[in-house]
Structure 1
Amino acid sequence: MKKEPIIIGIESSCDDTGVSIIKNRNILSNIILHQEIHKKYGGVVPELASRLHDVNITKAVNKAIFSAKIRRHEIDAVAFTLGPGLIGPLLVGASFAKSFSIGLGVPLLTVNHVQAHILSHFIQDANLNKDYCPKFPFLGLIVSGGHTQIIKVNDFFKMKILGSTLDDSVGEAFDKIARMLGFYYPGGPMIEYFSQNGNNKKFTFSKPTVSGLDFSFSGFKSDVLQFIKNESRKDSFFIKKNLSDICASIQKIISEILLDKVKKAILKTGIFRIALSGGVSANHEIRRAFMALSKGNKKYEVFILKKKYTTDNGAMIAIVGSLKYKRNLFDSVHVSPYSKFKTF
């Protein structure tokens, strides 16, 4: 009987060092080492991120192997993020992965970061309220700090982008608005925290008018900034007095923008299966809005990941590595990381 391959996945596209080990879609370990230093700079500093990945990657790999209760020689392949992302951190991950695969004498598997977020839904027990994976075809909505896209997923490695952001990603919009409110980086979770007791109908903001399935958040961000400036001129304590309501109202509009575009994609494609992924999909208001969609109409199937699989992590790289391994989609050690998004 042929044994199931054991794959190690390495993620280093930004500031989190993620290492995971997978066997037959079952995660044996999933280690993430965070870089807290970036908070004091208000965003990720690429050079610092690269240096800390260099420090953390060996620790994360050793910890992942120990937690998985396996030995190094049992690993059948090494998967790693090739791009898109910050080129310095990607080079650290790529260099380690190449050396590790050569040292173990096992194949190398490269992974597209965006594709990995989408295919996280195929990790065993990854979906929040469902014990199964989305069937093909489905619509993938990826919302993160670097990406906001609607993608038609026909198969594991057959995907087509239907819409993308024309400027800021939704994660960038959250962080930039958070800075206006006086929050430190990362600001998105702070907006979510203060929104919990807020009235999301207290303030209204304009939704961007963008044709087709593309997104734009720069106009929305400017509208919020102008609103805060105007109100703060009238009352210097306006933000402090209304913080929860402001945060709740911002979240509501962003959720509606995302939902409106996905509904358009459903009408265009006739596909009623939607899978959310990316770090911003951990936001409770976005989750609530999409869950309400499926509860209101049984023909919709909405797949939402458990929070531990939404942010950048090694498990999403490992699952893609596992899927590629079974199709013999191996790569050369001569591949080079890329920073900007490429088509699938």
Structure 2
Amino acid sequence: MVTLGPGAVILGLESSCDETGAGLVRLTEDGVELLGQELASSQDEHARFGGVVPEIASRAHLEAMTATVHGAFTKAGVPFGAVDAIAVTSGPGLAGALLVGVAAAKAYAAAWGVPLFGVNHLAGHVAADTLEHGPLPSDTLALLVSGGHTQLLHVQSLAGQITEVGTTIDDAAGEAYDKVARLLGLGYPGGPVIDKLAATGDPKAIAFPRGLTGGRDNGYNFSFSGLKTAVARWVEQAERDGRELPINDICASFQEAVVDVLTAKMVRAATDLKLSTVVIAGGVAANGRLRALAAERCEAAGLTLRIPRPGLCTDNGAMIAAVGAHVVRAGAFPSSGTLSGNPGMLVSQVLAG
């Protein structure tokens, strides 16, 4: 068992997908302080394929890891290696990419003689908010929405008490953004460009469907595959009719369909579970329309809304260090020497054995 108190410094390493992240945090009396972080992305290398290519991602992590770690120490103003523990993403994610991060973390932990904790990437996204807004209430609802995940989570403790309330039964919201962007020839990743174009479009121009709502409502679960197909069919019909595609209106109408369902189910779940605080986390949490509609609906429902700044929403090492800080503060045992990547790691498992 390892128990670290205020002043302890934790290094976090993230390599689950296409971004190599390293971040350093310090434990305070009642929370976690971000000292500095560095991030290297291989998105440009994947763009021509319209999505992440696992082999390219793994190679990019290998090439970027050392410089990223050194950069994080420099930005944090911490002497290289002066840490009390290391946290690394064990899963979920791409198998090869995860192994790069875990191998690096093992090497640094052995060289510096500090404990190593393999932690959950999804918990990291939620923990990122604590770096900006302080400790979470003991009972919080989190909407985790990213390229690979769309989940509603009941978070009782970031040290290990997270329960899934709802999830997507097909595409994640971010995945739908990428697929629609590719359909419209907007490139990869799709989220930022669709959000930008939607700002000057009419969200009511096209009545795209809201998945798993109305008579087909399925509690707190989500579905975006049908919406993606509806966009494709609308575009196909418009092209057959010889009409010019109103790209901005398509983006705005598609985006409104996504964020309408996300925020409606989020507010419903929080109300039903009698939770007064809601956190939105993950890469799609940077979306401007999602943030605006969530704020509007949470205010109407009397809920406290927390969303980290955009720089903390995407994959990064600081969020992994933040999970590590919560785990070590709770006095958890370090992960074993057989720690490896776990692509299918469930959100309920915050710490890998």
Q: How much does 1:37 deviate?
A: 0.8
Superposition pairs of residues 64-83 of structure 1, within 5 angstroms: 64-83=72-91
TM-score (norm 1): 0.94
- Partner of 1:279 in structure 2? 283
* One-letter code aligned to 1:154: Q
Q: How much does 1:272 deviate?
A: 2.6
Deviations 1:20-40 (A, max 9, x none): 011121111111101121111
* One-letter code aligned to 1:105: G
Determine which of 149, 169, 179 is the counterpart of 1:176: 179
Matched, 1:335 2:343: no
Distance 2:323 2:156 in 1: 15
Distance 1:84 1:193 in 2: 29
**What secondary structure does 1:19 align onto?**
strand
Q: How much does 1:341 deviate?
A: 3.5
- Partner of 1:27 in structure 2? 34
TM-score (norm 2): 0.91
- Partner of 1:5 in structure 2? 8
Matched, 1:105 2:113: yes
Determine which of 167, 171, 181 is the counterpart of 2:170: 167
Distance 2:11 2:219 in 1: 39
* Larger CA deviation: 10-19 vs 197-206: 197-206
Determine which of 75, 93, 98 is the counterpart of 1:90: 98
- Partner of 1:302 in structure 2? 305
Q: How much does 1:70 deviate?
A: 1.6
Q: How much does 1:228 deviate?
A: 1.1
Q: How much does 1:268 deviate?
A: 2.4
CA contact under 8 A between 2:37 and 2:71: conserved in structure 1?
no
CA contact under 8 A between 2:127 and 2:323: conserved in structure 1?
yes
Q: How much does 1:154 deviate?
A: 1.3
- Partner of 2:148 in structure 1? 146
Matched, 1:232 2:239: yes
Q: How much does 1:264 deviate?
A: 2.5
Deviations 1:63-103 (A, max 9, x none): 11122122134211111000000000100000000011000
Superposition pairs of residues 304-319 of structure 1, within 5 angstroms: 304-319=307-322
Distance 2:222 2:6 in 1: 45
- Partner of 1:119 in structure 2? 127
CA contact under 8 A between 2:178 and 2:188: conserved in structure 1?
yes
**What secondary structure does 2:128 align onto?**
helix
Distance 1:29 1:262 in 2: 31
Q: How much does 1:308 deviate?
A: 0.6
**What secondary structure does 1:275 align onto?**
strand
Distance 2:89 2:330 in 1: 18
Superposition pairs of residues 200-239 of structure 1, within 5 angstroms: 200-209=203-212, 210-237=217-244, 239=245
* One-letter code aligned to 1:317: I
**What secondary structure does 1:72 align onto?**
coil
Distance 1:211 1:154 in 2: 24
**What secondary structure does 1:48 align onto?**
helix
Deviations 1:202-245 (A, max 9, x none): 111111224111111111111111111111211252x2xx1111
Distance 1:255 1:3 in 2: 39
Distance 1:73 1:31 in 2: 15
**CA-atom RMSD in angstroms:** 1.4
**What secondary structure does 1:312 align onto?**
coil
Q: How much does 1:266 deviate?
A: 2.3
CA contact under 8 A between 1:282 and 1:307: conserved in structure 2?
yes
Distance 2:327 2:266 in 1: 29
- Partner of 1:136 in structure 2? 138
| Structure 2: tracts of 5 or more residues without a match | none
Distance 2:198 2:220 in 1: 28
Distance 2:78 2:288 in 1: 36
Deviations 1:103-154 (A, max 9, x none): 000000111001111111211xx24xxxx44312010000000100000111
* One-letter code aligned to 2:153: I
Distance 1:78 1:332 in 2: 13
- Partner of 1:50 in structure 2? 58
Question: Aligned residues: percent identity?
Answer: 35
Q: How much does 1:292 deviate?
A: 0.7
- Partner of 1:244 in structure 2? 248
CA contact under 8 A between 1:134 and 1:303: conserved in structure 2?
no
CA contact under 8 A between 2:37 and 2:73: conserved in structure 1?
no
Runs of 4+ in 1 over 2 A off after TM superposition: 294-297
* One-letter code aligned to 2:145: V
**What secondary structure does 1:232 align onto?**
helix
Deviations 1:272-305 (A, max 9, x none): 31100000010000000101123334x2111111
- Partner of 2:329 in structure 1? 326
